[in-house]
Structure 1
Amino acid sequence: MLEFAVVTLASLFAGFVDAIVGGGGLILIPAMFGVFPNAAPATLFGTNKGAAVWGTAWATVQFARRVEMVWSALLPAAAAALAGSALGAWTVTMVPPTGLRKALPFILLAVFVYTLVKKDMGREHRRRFSGRTEAAVASLIGFVIGFYDGFFGPGTGSFFVFLFVRLLGYDFLHASASAKLLNTATNFSALLLFIAKGHIWWHFALVMAVANVVGSLLGTRLALKHGAGFVRVIFMAVVGALILKTGYDALKL
């Protein structure tokens, strides 16, 4: 019961953070490794995806009711993200992500500094493209970050948000809403792989999924209430935490 309580609370908080700007895995995965230190990592990752996919899907629905979603661009992007995630998952079976793991803290630091310097970036929603061009750029983002998610994964939601802001001209609220759809696709793709390999604890995943959805509901409401400026602050906090976490992991290699 103690194990259930810890991972359920972690899943709720992860859903809360993930709904605002992504990065829920930063909370839930370390919690699961702490509670189950002897479990197979693939099983913990699979169980995490079994919970997280419901939270991101629920956040997508909630955002879609209140925020303009450019479905003509986002649906192709979600399909590209799903394909990229599957390809990334296959690639990691052939090539270990050691080099990327070492480089990731510096990539995240560049994202953090750029966002910090560009104080007005993402505060106003000014779409740079429309029609097929917007769909093509969004699909490229979906495929590249989807591949990254399948290949390695930390910070996927934050990368989606940053690129939607930087390349498509979305504000942080619209970028976060759009990122949820793509993150749902990548989570679903990874989940199918873990299910096929038998790497999921359903008795934990189902309970954690409920908690993740509750956290997602709370996070979504907070983001919608306080707008792009609030999402930007949470984005900076999550990326900062990711820099510390991935930097520590890289030093252990």
Structure 2
Amino acid sequence: MFELLTVSVASLLAGFVDAIVGGGGLILVPALFSVYPTAAPASLFGTNKSAAILGTAWATAQYAKRVEMRWHALAPAAGAALVGSFLGAWTVTLVSADGLRKALPFVLLAVFLYTLARKDLGRTHAPQYSGRTEALLASLVGGAVGFYDGFFGPGTGSFFVFLFVRVLGYDFLNASASAKLLNTATNAAAIVLFAFKGHVWWHIAAVMAVANIAGSLLGTRLALRHGAGFVRGVFIVVVGLLILKTGWDGLVRGMV
């Protein structure tokens, strides 16, 4: 019971962070590995995805009630993200992700510095495209980041948010809402693969999912109340933590 309580609290916090800007995996995945150190990593990843998808889907529904979701672009983008995630997961069975693991901190650092330098970035919602052009660009973002999520994963939500802001001209609040939809799609693809291989602890995932939804509800309300500037601030903090985490995992740990 203590183990389940621990991962449930971590799932609640992860849902809270995920609902605002993504990055809940920073909390939940290390918690699962700490509580269940002898478990197969695939089982922990599958259980994490199975818990997180309900919180992400819940956040999507809550945002859709208050934020203008550009469905003509987001629906095909979600489909592209799902397909990309499948392809990424298949590719990682053939190619090592070690090179990407080492490069990721530098990519995130570039995103971090760019966001800091452009103080007006993502504060105003001014979509730069419409119609088929917007749908095509959103689908390219969905497919590319979806592939990355299936292939490797850390920072997926942050990449979705940043690219929706930078490429499509969304503010951080609308970008976060859009990212939740696409993240739901990539999680669904991953769950199908993990479940097919028997790598989901459904009894634990079910309890964690309830906690994740509760955290998601709190995070979504906070983001909607305080708007794009607040989401931008949380984005900067989460990306900064991702830089530290991925830098340790990809560059420092191997030398220690």
TM-score by length of 1: 1.00
Once the 2 structures are TM-superposed, how far is the Cα of residue 80 of structure 1 from its aligned partner?
0.1
Amino acid in the other structure paired with 2:15: G
CA distance, structure 1, for counterparts of residue 96 and residue 207 of structure 2: 32
RMSD: 0.4
Amino acid in the other structure paired with 1:249: D
Once the 2 structures are TM-superposed, how far is the Cα of residue 252 of structure 1 from its aligned partner?
1.9
CA distance, structure 2, for counterparts of residue 207 and residue 81 of structure 1: 27
CA distance, structure 2, for counterparts of residue 96 and residue 14 of structure 1: 28
Other structure's SS at 1:11 match:
helix
Q: Does 1:252 align with 2:253?
A: yes
Once the 2 structures are TM-superposed, how far is the Cα of residue 181 of structure 1 from its aligned partner?
0.2
Q: Deviations over 1:222-253 (max 9, x none)?
A: 00000000000000000000000000001223
CA distance, structure 1, for counterparts of residue 171 and residue 50 of structure 2: 30
5 Å matches for 1:156-195?
156-195=156-195
5 Å matches for 1:54-73?
54-73=54-73
Amino acid in the other structure paired with 2:228: A
Once the 2 structures are TM-superposed, how far is the Cα of residue 96 of structure 1 from its aligned partner?
1.2
CA distance, structure 1, for counterparts of residue 117 and residue 38 of structure 2: 43
Other structure's SS at 1:252 match:
helix
Once the 2 structures are TM-superposed, how far is the Cα of residue 100 of structure 1 from its aligned partner?
0.1
Q: What's the counterpart of residue 229 of structure 2? A: 229
CA distance, structure 1, for counterparts of residue 241 and residue 161 of structure 2: 16
CA distance, structure 1, for counterparts of residue 38 and residue 96 of structure 2: 22
Q: Deviations over 1:89-147 (max 9, x none)?
A: 00000011000000000000000000000000000000000000000000000000000
Q: Does 1:140 align with 2:116?
A: no
CA distance, structure 1, for counterparts of residue 172 and residue 73 of structure 2: 17
- Extract unaligned runs of 5+ from structure 1: none
CA distance, structure 2, for counterparts of residue 146 and residue 228 of structure 1: 24
CA distance, structure 2, for counterparts of residue 73 and residue 202 of structure 1: 33
Once the 2 structures are TM-superposed, how far is the Cα of residue 213 of structure 1 from its aligned partner?
0.5
Q: What's the counterpart of residue 41 of structure 2? A: 41
Q: What's the counterpart of residue 97 of structure 1? A: 97
Other structure's SS at 1:44 match:
helix
Other structure's SS at 1:16 match:
helix
Q: What's the counterpart of residue 12 of structure 2? A: 12
Other structure's SS at 1:32 match:
helix
Other structure's SS at 2:68 match:
coil
Q: Deviations over 1:132-163 (max 9, x none)?
A: 00000000000000000000000000000000
Once the 2 structures are TM-superposed, how far is the Cα of residue 16 of structure 1 from its aligned partner?
0.2
Q: Among the aligned pairs, what percent are the same residue? A: 73
CA distance, structure 1, for counterparts of residue 188 and residue 105 of structure 2: 26
CA distance, structure 2, for counterparts of residue 70 and residue 202 of structure 1: 33
Other structure's SS at 2:119 match:
coil
Q: Deviations over 1:29-52 (max 9, x none)?
A: 000000011100000000000100
Q: What's the counterpart of residue 217 of structure 1? A: 217
Q: What's the counterpart of residue 21 of structure 1? A: 21
Residues paired across the two proteins, number: 253
- Following TM superposition, where does structure 1 have runs of at least 4 consecutive aligned residues deviating by more than 2 angstroms? none
TM-score by length of 2: 0.98
